Amino acid sequence: MRCRAGLQFNEPLGRHTRIGTGGPAALLALARSAEDVRNVVTMCSQKGWPLMVIGKGSNLLVPDEGFQGCMLKLAGELRSIELDVRHGIVRAGGGASLMGLGLLLARGGYPEFTYMGVIPGSVGGAVRMNAGIDSREAIEKDFLRLRALDPATGETVIIEKDEIGFAYRTSCLAGRPLIILEAVFRLPANILPAHETLAALRALLKRRHAAQPRCYRTFGSTFKNPPAPARAAGWYLEQVGMRGMHLGGAMVAREHANWILNTGGATSSDVLSLMRTGRTRVFETFGIHLEEEVIVAAQAARMPVK
Ligand SMILES: Cc1cc2nc3c(=O)[nH]c(=O)nc-3n(C[C@H](O)[C@H](O)[C@H](O)COP(=O)(O)OP(=O)(O)OC[C@H]3O[C@@H](n4cnc5c(N)ncnc54)[C@H](O)[C@@H]3O)c2cc1C
């Protein structure tokens, strides 16, 4: 069978992750349409290759040994965004930029989506992670449904919000690996003048830039915040002396102890060692188990291709 998706063999995944570490994927497939995605799934099934979908790699740590299978990336029409004001919805391709979607909706005067404009990543990755800036301003808020390809059956499925099991920085898609082709969000009726929503977006960006490290490669928060009444993960990591700790080219940010930076030449092993040290110290000192927010690719579910 001929696969029309763009194929790159032995592609270094450090080029496709924000932290910039990780070995090569045996194959990286660039799918520009749902048909391309189906062809890649069929090809992997025929060859017995593990398959994993990568968005913009903003929350992904790939092992230094690489990924012995096919990494699928969405492009072309799978990155498009369609604002359908008449039906009160916006459709975004799984590979579309979340920040691009947030900016478009801010230009349209929709205040509810400001948070999207400050989170790196793709729409598919954001839905899988239930990305957000707190528990209220997150993907699940105005989400309606998604269209996905199920690699286990090769079928396209529509999944409604109540079947997705959204929770803090996760969804049941973590356990049911689907390839998200499109997500649909409801457009709220109240619209503000665009200059107000754009100003709100600029202000939020400014606040984040002031509080977070800039100019480094990172995947953002390493660990999820433990449930209340516990404090934020960064607080515990700071108490156990993680702030500013170096290992090889990896460093715990001075501004935010829950962020790990690639200051140049870091490996995924450096990053994982810092993560282990932080988690162990927090557990030994406070008895709190920090759960990873970052997806470590070796641990991520590989898609059971049909
Ligand atoms: C500087 C910085 C700041 C950040 N701030 C925040 C923040 O404020 N809030 C927050 O929630 N996150 C934040 N993050 C983390 C990250 O932006 C989000 O988790 C984002 O949603 C990841 O999207 P992605 O496309 O990069 O996914 P990736 O990192 O590529 O992948 C993450 C997971 O999603 C899966 N996935 C990706 N695309 C699809 C698809 N189409 N179908 C099915 N599964 C898919 C992958 O297989 C993987 O399991 C930040 C990251 C950085 C680098």
Ordered by where they begin, the domains of the chain are: 6-76 (3.30.43.10), 79-195 (3.30.465.10), 225-290 (3.90.78.10)
Q: Which of 56, 42, 305, 35 is nearest to 177 (CA)?
A: 305
Looking at every residue in the chain, the average pLDDT score rounds to 93
pLDDT tens digits, residue range 99-130?
A: 999 999 999 999 999 999 999 999 999 999 99
**What pLDDT shows up at residue 299?**
47
Task: State yes or no: pLDDT of 298 exceeds 70.
Answer: no
CB neighbour list of residue 269: distance below 8 Å, 6 or more residues apart? 64, 248
Q: Please report the atom of ligand 1 found closest to the CA of residue 94.
A: 41
Show the ligand 1 pocket: residues with CB < 6 angstroms. Answer: 18, 52-60, 74, 94, 119-122, 124-126, 128-129, 131-133, 169, 179-180, 218-220, 295, 300
C-alpha R_g of the chain: 19
The verdict on whether 65 is a catalytic residue reads: no
**What pLDDT shows up at residue 42?**
94
**127 contacts 173 by C-beta, under 8 angstroms:** yes
**What pLDDT shows up at residue 174?**
79
**What pLDDT shows up at residue 190?**
86
The verdict on whether 293 is a catalytic residue reads: yes
Which 3 state secondary structure label does DSSP give 242? coil
Token pair for 163? 């079947």
Token pair for 291? 């759960």
**What pLDDT shows up at residue 214?**
78
CA of 116 to the centre of ligand 1 (A): 12
**What pLDDT shows up at residue 301?**
47
